[in-house]
Structure 1
Amino acid sequence: MKVLVLGGTGFIGLPAAQALVRKGHTVYSLARSEAKETTLAAEEIIPISGDVSSDAWIPLVATLDVIIETVTASPESSRSVFERVEAAARALRPPGSPPLSYIYTSGTWVHGDSRTTTVTDTTPILTPAKLVAWRPAMEQLVVSSTVLNGIVIRPSLLYGRSASIFGMLFKAAAEGKVSWPGTPGGRYAVVHADDLAELYVLCAEKASVVGGKIFDGANSVTESVDDLLEKLVRVSGAKGPYEYREPADAFEEAITTTTLLRPYLANALLGWTPKKQGFVDGLEMYYVAWQASL
């Protein structure tokens, strides 16, 4: 396959692009600097100079099999990129071509916060976290497209490597105090970056049979935030005890989201099963990996 990863130098996009390369696919990604171009080229990913707002990548739409979008973070940018791909597909793809598959990256915060109700991939979205309240409409725009073969992946909180959002928590611990937004008793749906990358590969390779589907990308078991913070105090050598604090903004409010998530669809349709050690169980290793990534 020929695959374009939008956001292919980021925490989600780069592992996905690397995994696709390992499977033998031709992978392109945008690069906004010479340094990023070098990073991509070293991974056998073909760099394209520019960003999503440029036209540099648009001609590729004529011959691509899949576009994976991992970069947009606002309703305006998400819709703009999607509509540009639709327009390019109409204009550039030869008559009779298979629909271009478009994998959009959402997130499990759309399920909202609940410490009593378990949700799955196919649970209706009723009360998304405020920060991502716009995403369900974007998801539906993608999967209902009559031009593209739309698929949605909702990553949960990512761990491993440079730690993504959890890097802020690790940084606080390294500075001597484990302080985190929330209240006791919360639980996180999580997934390792490498396991998530494998989900993107499976969706791309089987896109023709899973078009229109929305997949939650998460481990099968949620993890206790209390256990995470308590163990981090020990692992990091920070001064205990850990403490919770009030969220400072909408982003930190989203971080407090408890989602009792039991995903099943990716396993049932794609055979996807996360393999990495859990976040709390492997915390020593993941904390050291974060330190090494700085």
Structure 2
Amino acid sequence: MRVLIIGATGFIGLPAAQALVRAGHVVFGLARTPEKAKLLAVEEIVPVSGDASDPSKWIDLVATIDVIIEAIGGTMELPQLSTKVLNAVSEASQKLRPAGSAKIAYIYTSGVWVHGDDRKNYVTDTTPIVNPAALVAWRPALEKLVATHTVLNGIVVRPGLVYGRSASLLASAFAAPTGKVLWPGTPGGRLSVVHTDDLAEFYLLASEKSAVLAGQIFDIVNDVTESVDDVLARVVKVNGASGYEYFTPTNPFEAAIASTNLIRPHLARALLGWVPRKAGLVDGLETYYAAFKAANSNEDAWSAYTAAK
């Protein structure tokens, strides 16, 4: 297959691109800078100069591509940007692809926060979305647009909190070795999580089976949720902090992180045979913390991370 990943240098997109390359597929990735392009080239990913906000730089690839994975990282303009990218791909597909061509598979990356905060009720991939977290209240409408698209084979993936490697959202907890670890919310919460490698494996399987997955929406999380209290206690043990403490969320992002999602996914297992293999967050936290430290072992790397936040 020929696969284009929009967000190929990001925390989700890069492992997905690596998994597809290892499986023998030709993978293109957007790169905003020469440094990012070099990162992709080293991984045998074909760098495409440009970014998601300017489709003119990469849209010609639509003529010959099989799968597009949209894995754009968090940004203030994400609702508008994701819609812009979807529309650009749809329009280009109709203009650039010969009549009778197979539909492009379009895998859109959403997230489990659309399920909202609920500490009592289990939900599944197909549970109706009725109370999404405020931060992502716009996502369900876009999910529906992707899943019901008439021009593209739309597929939606909702990862849980992604862990491993450079830590992503867990970095704020990992990076508090001399003081208290602070986390939004209240005691008793639980997290639906997935390791970045297991998520990458899902993107590979979904891409390879995309021709028969149009309209599907997948929650991609481990079989068991994890206690936030247990996670924070383990973080304190491995990073040397003096303890942990909850605080009241002050913005929609913190409120989303504080939410509990009791998810029992089934579609990825039933349709793709996807099974998470990495150790859970608490069980493997010492290893994941060491990976975080290595990824941010110099001042430039840490400055780049904090600037991105």
Aligned positions of 1:121-270 closer than 5 A: 121-171=125-175, 173-240=176-243, 242-270=244-272
Contact 1:215 / 1:266 at 8 angstroms: preserved in 2?
A: yes
Query: Which of 70, 90, 97 is matched with 1:93 structurally?
Result: 97
Aligned residue number for residue 284 of structure 1: 286
SS in 1 for 2:114: helix
Does structure 1 conserve the Cα–Cα contact (< 8 Å) formed by 2:191 and 2:227? yes
Query: Normalised by the size of structure 2, how large is the TM-score?
Result: 0.93
Aligned mates of 1:250, 1:222 — CA distance in 2 = 22
Runs of 4+ that moved beyond 2 A: 173-176
Amino acid paired to 1:32: R
Give yes or no for contact 2:173–2:235 (8 Å, CA) kept in 1. Answer: no
Determine the C-alpha separation between the residues in 2 that align with 1:185 and 1:275.
26
Letter in 1 for 2:41: A
Q: Which residue of 2 aligns with 1:20?
A: 20
User: What TM-score, normalized to structure 1?
Assistant: 0.98
Deviation at 1:249, TM superposition (A): 1.1
The AA in structure 2 aligned to 1:186 is: G
Count matched residues: 292
CA distance in 2, matches of 1:225, 1:53: 36
Percent identical pairs in the alignment equals 61
CA positional deviation for 1:174: 2.2
User: Do residues 68 (structure 1) and 72 (structure 2) align?
Assistant: no
Amino acid at match of 2:64: T
User: Take 1:203 and 1:230, find their aligned partners in 2: how far apart are those partners?
Assistant: 35
- Measure, in 1, the Cα distance between the counterparts of 2:198 and 2:2: 21
- How far residue 226 of structure 1 moved from its aligned partner, in angstroms, is 0.5
Alpha-carbon deviation of 1:230? 1.1
Q: Alignment partner of 1:179: what SS?
A: strand
Counterpart of 1:8? 8
Return the letter of the residue paired with 1:21: V
| Contact 1:160–1:286 (CA under 8 A) maintained in structure 2 | yes
SS, match of residue 41 in structure 1: helix
Kindly indicate whether the alpha-carbon contact (under 8 Å) linking 2:178 and 2:240 is maintained by their aligned counterparts in 1: no
Contact 1:29 1:47 in 2 (8 A): yes
The alpha-carbon deviation at position 237 of structure 1 amounts to 1.0
Paired residues of 2:178 and 2:242 also in contact (CA < 8 A) = no
1:77-134: per-residue Cα shift (whole Å, max 9, x none)?
A: 1111100000000000000000010000000000001010000101010100000011
Q: What amino acid does structure 1 have at the position aligned with 2:35?
A: A
* Residue 175 of structure 1, CA deviation: 3.9
Of 269, 272, 275, 2:274 maps to 272
Q: Indicate the larger mover: 42-51 or 66-75.
A: 66-75
Contact 1:72 1:78 in 2 (8 A): no
RMSD over aligned Cα atoms: 0.8
